[in-house]
């Protein structure tokens, strides 16, 4: 917000002082910042729910799967999955570092109760690079905008390896992230996964 305001001020100053090229350039940057900000706002409030609803509904879940969400936060993806598995289990792991969004286990449990899926949700304070779950124990691993936060490629790769380790034979991994996705795809292949598809999530994201 401050950067956008400052860029707008500079644009006006340069235009008024006859530096039209610089003013136009600053105005374009300011407009870009506004558009980016509106996009982020829309994604956080609505877009991520639309994207994940489409992804999860496209998986053809039976309803009895065990789903693991890496870095589940307040439960946007975890609870959407839980609604599709009335006879299954939705397991979320996170480090639960408090931030401006109120990220904590209690908030996620409260959200699960509001959404009517608390009976099939369980949460753990775990590092996604060392899940402590048995191998071949879950049907689906999901992660939304979380793995990129890990400190370095070694940790990110460890999270991918762990995701594959806990999958049952024929299980699936679905990751949405803002970076490193080429590496995720490569690490999934190296871990023995097949049928890997990497694509944009579209304008909603």
Q: How many residues does the chain have?
A: 205
Residue 46: pLDDT band with limits 50, 70, 90: low
Could you tell me the sign of the dihedral formed by the alpha carbons of 139, 143, 149, 153, in that order?
Answer: positive
Residue with tokens 């400052």: 6
Q: What is the pLDDT of residues 183-200, one digit of tens each?
A: 999 999 999 999 999 998
CA–CA gap between residue 134 and residue 57 (Å, rounded): 27
What's the pLDDT score for residue 38? 45
13-21 long-range contacts (CB < 8 A, ≥24 apart) are none
Alpha-carbon distances, residue 167 vs 9, 68, 123, 162, 163 (angstroms): 53, 9, 18, 9, 7
Average pLDDT of every residue of the chain? 85
Q: How far apart are CA 150 and CA 129, in angstroms?
A: 9
Q: Looking at 20-29, 70-79, 111-120, which range is the least confident one?
A: 20-29
3-state secondary structure of 173: strand
Question: For residue 76, is it left (φ>0), alpha (ψ between -120 and 50) or beta?
Answer: alpha
Give the integer Cα–Cα distance in Å for 146 and 21.
40
Question: Model's pTM, two decimal places?
Answer: 0.78
Residue that the structure tokens 């995720």 belong to: 184
Q: Which one, of 178, 168, 172, 161, lies nearest residue 197 by Cα?
A: 172
| pLDDT tops 80 at residue 5 | no
Kindly state the tokens that stand for 4: 């956008």
Q: What is the pLDDT of residues 91-141, one digit of tens each?
A: 999 998 776 567 899 999 999 999 999 999 999 999 999 999 999 999 999
- Report helix, strand or coil for 180: coil
């Amino acid at each position: 917000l401050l950067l956008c305001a400052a860029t707008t001020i500079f644009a006006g100053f340069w235009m008024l002082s006859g530096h039209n090229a610089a003013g136009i350039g600053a105005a374009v940057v300011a407009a870009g910042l506004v558009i980016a900000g509106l996009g982020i706002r829309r994604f956080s409030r609505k877009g991520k729910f639309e994207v994940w609803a489409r992804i999860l509904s496209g998986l053809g879940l039976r309803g009895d799967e065990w789903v693991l969400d890496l870095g589940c936060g307040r439960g946007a993806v975890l609870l959407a999955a839980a609604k599709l598995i009335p006879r299954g289990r939705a397991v979320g792991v996170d480090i639960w570092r408090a931030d401006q969004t109120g990220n904590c286990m209690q908030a996620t449990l409260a959200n699960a109760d509001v959404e009517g899926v608390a009976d099939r949700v369980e949460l753990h304070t775990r590092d996604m690079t060392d899940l402590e779950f048995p191998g071949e124990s879950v049907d689906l691993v999901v992660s939304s905008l979380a793995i990129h936060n890990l400190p370095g490629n070694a940790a990110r790769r460890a999270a991918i390896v762990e995701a594959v380790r806990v999958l049952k034979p024929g299980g699936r991994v679905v990751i949405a992230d803002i970076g490193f996705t080429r590496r995720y795809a490569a690490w999934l292949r190296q871990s023995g996964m097949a049928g890997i598809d990497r694509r944009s999530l579209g304008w909603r994201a």
